[in-house]
Amino acid sequence: MLLLFGGLHLVIAMPLHGLLLRRAPRREDTQRAQKQQEHAFLREDGVTAREALRQRPFWMLTVSFAIAMLGNTVLFTHQIAHLIHRGYDPVLAATLAGGLGLASLPGRVGLNLLSERVSPRRLLGLCHVVQALGVVVLILAPSVPWLLVYVLLYGAAFGAISPLKASVVADYFGKKAYGTITALQGLPIALCNAAGPLLAGWLYDLLGRYDLAFWLCAGGFLLAGIGITLTPPARQWTPHAL
């Protein structure tokens, strides 16, 4: 199976990257863009990890990312059990969960193309709000067609999140310490990844259903979307802003 996946990457992914990825801009184009952004926050190569840690946007984005990822892991871990508990066939429950992957493809492509015209930060915030709406549909869905609405909403939004997050972090902090900054953000995100399914399972053992855990996830997605949307644009910050 791993050899198959590797072969698919070589045959499909690598040619697409070669055809679609843009080349680095020419020097004169870069200089023109720098003049247009002479009041922007970022230096040409970005900020250091130490400088990023001293900025409120870093913490606002990190907390928002962590809360949203907690909700994602809860949904991916417990959604099949939730649907079976509500009386749906296990095969149908697993099929709907697998459908999230297919539903993520249009969002992964379309919304990230749209990010060239609309702020990636605002699109990312909107995606988390759509996720919240999708979870509400999952909780209240009275029939399979409504579950399909959940799959389409949640899947399309989820597909766009990872590339949009990368764009947002790059827009705020540049490329100088991009890897280190994302790794620092990854620490609280990983903790939420681990804690979310455990807490949801504890609530299920306590209450005998997943509704409260999923309502909390919906609230978390909404909070994350608001937090990202309200994060001040990078150009308003100096390297030592708090």
Instruction: Note the pTM of the prediction, 2 decimals.
Output: 0.78
Tokens of 222: 């909404």
Distances (CA, A) of 165 to 89, 115, 122, 226: 35, 11, 11, 15
Q: What is the pLDDT along the chain (242 residues), one digit of tens a residue?
A: 667 767 876 777 778 767 766 655 554 444 454 444 444 444 457 888 888 888 889 999 999 999 999 999 999 999 999 999 999 999 999 999 999 988 888 877 777 677 677 788 889 999 999 999 999 999 999 999 999 999 999 999 998 898 889 889 988 888 888 889 999 999 999 999 999 999 999 999 999 999 999 999 999 999 999 999 999 875 544 444 44
Q: Contact at 8 Å (CB) between 16 and 212?
A: no
The predicted-structure confidence for 138-170, as pLDDT tens digits, reads as follows 999 999 999 999 999 999 999 889 888 988 998
Whose CA is closest to 162, among 185, 180, 144, 142?
A: 185
Question: How far does CA 151 lie from the centroid of its chain?
Answer: 16
Residue 176 pLDDT: 84
Residue 139 pLDDT: 95
Residue 107 pLDDT: 74
Distances (CA, A) of 208 to 73, 85, 137, 204: 20, 9, 20, 5
CA torsion sign for 241, 185, 124, 197 is negative
- Round to whole Å and give the CA distance between 200 and 206: 10
Q: Is 233 left (phi over 0), alpha (psi -120 to 50) or beta?
A: beta
